[in-house]
């Protein structure tokens, strides 16, 4: 795996270190966490309006719960994971998923390949410019009318730096971009997406407030009229 950017290497090492805790948390859910029917189910609900068959890409699948959920609901799944140890955990939960190990910014898919892309708790692991690059890639990879789920914690001011992750037993530094909701929303829209639904989660036990956007790659007007 060619990890040419320092922050990518740092984040890969962080999630290799924390993989056992992620696995444990999947079995011991906080009462403040959203249910899979909200996280995965919401985006599938909209996708099934437009598509009978769904090819879903997940970026940074963590413990593999969303992949497993998608598989159980009839999707074919591909995942790109930076951390080899996290990929091993995700594969145990979703053995039918095709896993690609590497940096998503160095990964290429065909234009219009996916009906759904899921990027949960991952966009804030990139600096703003690289996050915009990733959103642009995801827009190209989605079919017209395809759906993207993307979320992050929200903050009162914008900032990006190496920060210690204290909400796990092993305090460890990783690169983190803090988004305000306005900035996050504006960047998503600037990449061509149309917001379909906004979800808010107050994860009080960990002191985090999350905003998720389910967004769509809309057909161009002339394309819609010609079909």
pLDDT digits (tens, 9 = 90+) for 7-62: 999 999 999 999 999 998 888 888 888 999 999 999 999 999 999 999 999 999 99
Answer yes or no: are the C-beta atoms of 121 and 62 closer than 8 Å. Answer: yes
Answer yes or no: are the C-beta atoms of 149 and 198 closer than 8 Å. Answer: no
Measuring CA to CA, how many Å separate 87 from each of 20, 24, 75, 92, 98? 12, 15, 19, 9, 11
Which secondary structure element, helix H or strand E, spans residue 11, and what is its range? Answer: helix 6-27
- pTM given for the model: 0.93
Q: What residues does each domain of the chain span? A: 6-226
CA-atom Rg of the chain in angstroms: 17
Instruction: Name which of 204, 215, 211, 199 is nearest 154 in CA terms.
Output: 211
Strand, coil or helix: 109: coil
Q: Which CATH class is domain 6-226?
A: alpha beta
Give CA 160 to chain center in angstroms.
18
Q: Does pLDDT of 1 surpass 90?
A: no
Measuring CA to CA, how many Å separate 180 from each of 114, 173, 198, 214? 28, 21, 14, 17
pLDDT bin (cut points 50, 70, 90) of residue 145 is: very high
Give CA 136 to chain center in angstroms.
14
77-127 pLDDT tens trace: 999 999 999 999 999 999 999 999 999 999 999 999 999 999 999 999 999
- Pairing relation of β-strands 98-101 and 76-81? parallel
Annotate 150-178 with DSSP letters as a single string. Answer: EEEEB-SS-EEEEEEE-SSSS-EEEEEEE
Give CA 189 to chain center in angstroms.
17
DSSP 35: P
């Amino acid at each position: 795996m060619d990890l040419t950017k320092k922050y990518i290497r740092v984040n890969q090492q962080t999630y290799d270190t924390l993989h056992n805790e992620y696995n444990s948390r999947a079995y011991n859910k906080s009462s403040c966490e959203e249910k899979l029917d909200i996280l995965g189910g919401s985006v599938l609900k909209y996708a099934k309006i437009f598509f009978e068959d769904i090819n879903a890409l997940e970026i940074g699948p963590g413990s593999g719960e969303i992949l497993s959920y998608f598989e159980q609901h009839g999707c074919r799944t591909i995942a790109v994971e930076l951390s080899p140890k996290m990929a091993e955990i995700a594969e145990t939960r979703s053995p039918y998923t095709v896993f690609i190990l590497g940096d998503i910014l160095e990964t290429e898919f065909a234009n219009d390949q996916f009906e759904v892309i899921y990027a949960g708790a991952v966009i804030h692991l990139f600096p703003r410019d690289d996050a915009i690059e990733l959103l642009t890639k995801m827009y190209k990879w989605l079919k017209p009318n395809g759906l993207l789920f993307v979320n992050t914690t929200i903050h009162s001011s914008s900032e990006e730096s190496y920060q210690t992750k204290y909400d796990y037993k092993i305090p460890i530094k990783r690169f983190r971009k803090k988004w305000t909701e306005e900035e996050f929303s504006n960047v998503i829209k600037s990449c061509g997406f149309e917001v379909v639904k906004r979800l808010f989660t107050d994860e009080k036990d960990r002191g985090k407030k999350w905003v998720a956007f389910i967004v769509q790659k809309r057909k161009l007007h002339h394309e819609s009229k010609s079909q």
